[in-house]
Amino acid sequence: MNKNIIKDTLKLVSITLIAGVLLSFVYQLTKDTIDKAEAEELQQSYREAFPMASDFEETNADASASLDDGNTLNSALYAKDDSGNVLGCVLSITSHNGYGGDIVLTMGVDKSGVITGVKVTSMGETSGLGANCQNDEWIAQYSGISGRAEFTKTGKSKLNEIDAISGATITTRAVTSAVNSGLKLAEEQFGFSENSEGSDKE
């Protein structure tokens, strides 16, 4: 009886060890491919947020910078042209105030403080409602805004207004808050604002 228990235990241990080795092997084989795909997806979000840029370069922005409404700065890069001239910046920001949790977006701000584009790269909002924040037509409302975006439930009538997603006020508020945090950071850390041509400090 005891011998059978020992045998079965050894078999289970062997199977577990083999499975662990195989999983580790598969992970190592796919890790580079996954990392490459994630890096390319990130680059694509940069290009969508700042279409005029041909290159993106890390900045010395303070990642621990305190953003409004508890939003978090994930990364900040300079957007540059073919000659290496700074056109503006690209920011990755997380809002922790989404209806379904964190909403991560990438946004571009040019040297005059104008939003060049916004892309929601990650979210857990409700399908058919808050998840519509990823729709190209809706998110395009932020492009061209400077100063501060404001959301409205009565229909967009001014450039800086964002027509709220129907049935998803919390999502709209979270995205707009993150965008406004990015505009403020671009002005305070890089001097990119509607009242300035911006600075090329690195």
Q: Three-state DSSP class for 161?
A: strand
- SS3 of 73-131: the string is EEEEEEEECCCCCEEEEEEEEEEEEECCEEEEEEEEEECCCEEEEEEEEECCCCCCCHH
Bridge partners of 151? 162
Q: pTM, whole model, 2 decimals?
A: 0.79
Q: Which of 94, 101, 52, 88 is nearest to 75 (CA)?
A: 94
Backbone angles phi, psi at 6, to 5 degrees: -65, -45
Cβ atoms of residues 120 and 139 within 8 Å: yes
The reported pLDDT for the residue numbered 174 is 97
**Could you tell me how many residues make up the chain?**
202
Measured at the CA of 84, the angle between CA 112 and CA 108, to 5 degrees, comes to 40
Question: Going by C-beta distance under 8 Å and a sequence separation of 6 or more, which residues neighbour residue 98?
Answer: 123, 124, 125, 130, 170, 171, 174
Give the three-state DSSP class for 56: strand
User: How many other CB atoms are there within 10 angstroms of residue 150's CB atom?
Assistant: 13
Q: Digits of tens for pLDDT over the chain (202 positions)?
A: 566 777 767 778 778 888 777 777 776 666 666 656 666 778 899 999 999 999 999 998 776 666 888 899 999 999 999 999 999 999 999 999 999 999 999 999 999 999 999 999 999 999 999 999 999 999 999 999 998 999 898 888 888 999 999 999 999 999 999 999 999 999 999 999 977 654 444 4
Report the chain's terminal Cα–Cα distance, integer Å: 73
How far apart CA 17 and CA 22 sit, in angstroms, is 9
pLDDT of residue 202: 45
